Chain A
Amino acid sequence: MNLAYRDVRHNVGRFLLASVGLSLLMAVVLSMMGIYNGIVVDALAIVRAPQADVWVVESGTRGPFAEASRIPGDTREAIARLSGVTFAGSVTYQTVESEYRGGKIRLFVIGYELGRPGGPSEIVAGRAIGRSHYELVADRRSGLKLGDRIRLGRNVFNVVGHIENQVNSAGDPVVYITLLDAQKLQFELAPPAARIQVARGAVPEGLDTVNAVIARVLPTVKPSSVAEAARRWKHLAAMTQSEQENILTSSVVDKVRRQIGLFMGLLLVVSAVIIALIIYQMTMEKLKQIATLKLIGAPDRTIIGLIVQQALALGMIGWALGYVLVTNIKDYFPRRVVLEPENAFVLAAIIFVVCLLSSGLGVRAALRVDPATALGS
């Protein structure tokens, strides 16, 4: 006879209420895990979109995502001529804030050369950029509709296509424009500032500057050897795709990861305390019944089983409800929430251990009950 099950069945409403309360905590923990995954996935999506093997950036920097990087636009030709390189393309990256439908909108603008690596990998609606100027392809999360017009800098762009699931590590949706437009947007001075520079006698800077050059190499060629070759130019730094991804995950999103990790840790501690309190309270209410069980000869393992099984059931039901809740609401979060099955299993394992430890308080109280308390009133 399973006493834990019988007791839960007898107080099913109360038990479920406690489980629902716990499930909300579990949902928050799972959301945190999902948000962290989402940040990493989003950050990597930008890096992986151009399907590059090698990133060439300004010497002494780890650009273009972790640090600012500016290199001459003709670097692309030099890189393209390296042995083993099949394609090369120049790219720029910058964040822009603009007016859209009476409000502010933040966009992560990627400039690329038409017909070269660096552009959007898949258009889900509309078409790719077909003209050299004033067209853009936007991530759906930007809210921009096909045919919309939006001002970026001093120029107005037409939205011609949509992409999906591309935002930067800050959550700003990506838009693609041509490299020429992006260079103007990033490097061209505003007319008054340009006039002042001319008045001062400064030589106007050329616009042919880019943030990075990306290269694809032959399958038989090691990207590291191409990166090594690119590093021979003293004004350039180069890294492979995996090195670029490492920079993003270990540097750019590292603080976010640690912050979320600490927050998750705190939530787990809070969950442990709450589980312990619930189990302790449930045990204290049953002390006379436990005394009676001891008096009629129930061994300690029966009493421990009663408490531990209820603690585990509470934790697992709370976890399951929390998981169902998060999977149903995750698409309503402003940032992407990516919930991997292994996250749910890891949390289940943690909750299992937490429940075991938390039930210790209740077990201790139960084992100290004097069976004599069952006698008398």
Chain B
Amino acid sequence: MSAVSTPERLVSLRNISKHFGEGTTRVDALRDVSLDVTPGQVVALLGPSGSGKTTLLNVIGCILEPSKGRMCLEGEKVYDNRWLRSDLRRLRLDKIGFIFQFHNLLPFLDATDNIAIVLELAGLGSKEANARAVELLEYLEVANRRAALPAKLSGGEAQRVAIARALANRPRIILADEPTAALDSARAGIVMDLLRKLASEQEAAIIAVTHDEKIFDRFDRIYELRDGRLDSGSDRPN
């Protein structure tokens, strides 16, 4: 099977492997992982601790170099047994949004600036960046907290701001690492509904690592990793 580079598949992985160490200390974190995620699709990565979920997320996020395989993001071939782009940070800035387990907002910036910083890094002017940040906060219904520092936000509010930051540059690939782990079940549901809405409205692909069984029904497809191998996935449980 060859890596598909059509825009219909926002994320396309073929036979991605990643090992750490060599010889007796060698650990195969990922073994021949292939995965396709299409626009609007929300997928979950499950698996026990050490199964390779975070490694896979890091590989898709271009943070960790695989040992072999091929990878296309938004139709662009970015890895073919070696990185095909040198400016991986710019690639992340343009194509990928990250949502963390603990919002990871910069504590010295208020909600608006936490979003605006991403836009300014992408080259937008200060005024436009602020306007877009406020627009996103309104979209995520936290505009009333626009001037609040992260320390003054509730867990749910902070995670919404973090989602807004992830969406700031209109990336079509959103990677979420345990996005609801720090939230109670009600807020977790709200956040997942929001992510589904975003995936649908912005034709984005969302890949989330999660252990939270209460939100499994919010995913279109669920993949499980065991010992570095990805299963073929299953549709949303009813």
Pairwise interchain contact B113-A1, C-beta atoms closer than 8 A: yes
* CB of A293, distance to nearest CB on chain B (Å): 7
Contact B104 A299, beta carbon cutoff 8 Å: no
**CB-contact partner of B104 in A1, A6, A292, under 8 A:** A292
Contact B101 A374 (CB under 8 A): no
List, in ascending order, chain B residues with CB within 8 A of A371's CB.
Answer: 63
Q: Are A302 and B121 in contact (CB under 8 A)?
A: yes
Contact yes or no, B118 A296, CB < 8 A: yes
Contacts of A10 in B (CB 8 A): 107-108, 149
The distance in angstroms between the C-alpha atoms of A307 and B58, with both chains bound, is: 26
Report yes or no: A289 in contact with B107, Cβ–Cβ below 8 A: yes
Let me know if B165 and A296 touch, CB within 8 A: yes
Contact of B106 among A289, A370, A375 (CB under 8 A): A289
Asked if residues B106 and A377 are in contact (CB atoms below 8 Å), the reply is: no
> What residues of chain B lie closer than 8 Å to A374, measured between beta carbons?
98, 100, 104
Query: In the complex, how many angstroms separate the beta carbon of A201 from the nearest chain B beta carbon?
Result: 92
CB-defined contacts of A298 to chain B, threshold 8 Å = 89, 117, 121
* B222 within 8 A of partner (CB): no
Least Cβ–Cβ distance between B60 and chain A, in angstroms: 11
Give per-residue flags for B181-194: 1 if the beta carbon is below 8 A from chain A beta carbons, else 0: 00000000000000
Chain A residues with CB below 8 A from B64, complex form: 372
Pick the residue among B94, B106, B126 that contacts A293 (CB under 8 A): B106
Cβ-defined partner of A288 (8 Å) among B63, B104, B118, B126: B104
Contact flags (1/0) for B202-238 with A, using CB distance below 8 Å? 0000000000000000000000000000000000000
Contact code string A1-38 (vs B, CB < 8 Å = 1, else 0)? 10100110111000000000000000000000000000
B120 on interface, CB distance cutoff 8 Å: yes
A295–B98 CB distance below 8 A? yes
CA of A293 to CA of B100 in the docked complex: distance in angstroms? 13
B90: A residues at CB distance < 8 A = 297, 299
The distance from the CB of A299 to the nearest CB of chain B, in whole angstroms, is 6
**Interface size for chain A: under 10, 10 to 19, 20 to 34, or 35 or more residues?**
20 to 34
Within 8 A of A (CB), among B133-190: 149, 165, 177
Q: Say yes or no: A376-B101 contact (C-beta < 8 A), given A1-B126, A297-B89, A297-B92.
A: yes
Q: Which residues of A contact B107 (CB under 8 A)?
A: 10, 289
Q: Does A336 have its Cβ within 8 Å of any Cβ on chain B? A: no
The CB with the most chain A CB atoms within 10 A, among B64, B100, B102, B165, is that of B100
Could you say which residues of chain A place their CB within 8 Å of the CB of B35?
A: none
The closest CB in chain B to the CB of A298 belongs to B121
From B58, B98, B116, B149, A296 is in contact (CB under 8 Å) with B98
Q: Nearest CB to that of B122 among chain A residues?
A: A297
Distance in angstroms from A372 CB to nearest chain B CB is 5
Q: Is A62 an interface residue, CB under 8 A from the partner?
A: no
The chain B residue with its CB closest to the CB of A300 is: B89
B177 to nearest A CB, angstroms? 5
A6 with B113: CB separation less than 8 A? yes
Bound complex: CA of A372 vs CA of B65, how far in Å? 11
Kindly list chain B residues whose C-beta atoms are within 8 Å of the C-beta of A3.
Answer: 106, 108-109, 117
A130 vs B92: C-alpha distance in the bound complex, in angstroms? Answer: 90
Chain A residues with Cβ below 8 Å from B98 are 295-296, 374-375
B108:A1 contact, CB within 8 angstroms? no
Determine whether B5 belongs to the interface, using a CB cutoff of 8 Å to chain A.
no
The chain B residue sitting closest to A10, CB to CB, is: B108
**A216 adjacent to chain B (CB < 8 Å):** no
Q: Which of A6, A294, A377 contacts B108 (CB 8 A)?
A: A6
Residues of B within 8 A of A1 (CB): 109, 113, 116-117, 120, 126, 129
Q: Which residues of chain A come closer than 8 Å to B109, judged between CB atoms? A: 1, 3, 6
User: Given that A295-B98, A297-B121, A371-B63 are contacting pairs, would A7 and B104 also be in contact in the complex, using a CB cutoff of 8 Å?
Assistant: no
A residues adjacent to B (C-beta < 8 A): 1, 3, 6-7, 9-11, 288-289, 292-299, 302, 370-372, 374-377
Q: Can you sample 12 A-B contacts with CB below 8 Å?
A: A1-B113, A1-B117, A10-B108, A289-B104, A293-B106, A295-B63, A295-B92, A296-B93, A297-B122, A299-B121, A375-B54, A377-B101
Q: Which residues in B have some Cβ–Cβ distance to A below 8 Å?
A: 54, 57-58, 61, 63-64, 89-90, 92-94, 98, 100-102, 104, 106-109, 113, 116-118, 120-122, 126, 129, 149, 165, 177
Given A1-B113, A3-B117; 13 other pairs, CB 8 A cutoff: A1-B109, A11-B108, A289-B106, A295-B92, A296-B98, A297-B93, A297-B94, A374-B100, A375-B54, A375-B57, A375-B98, A375-B177, A376-B54
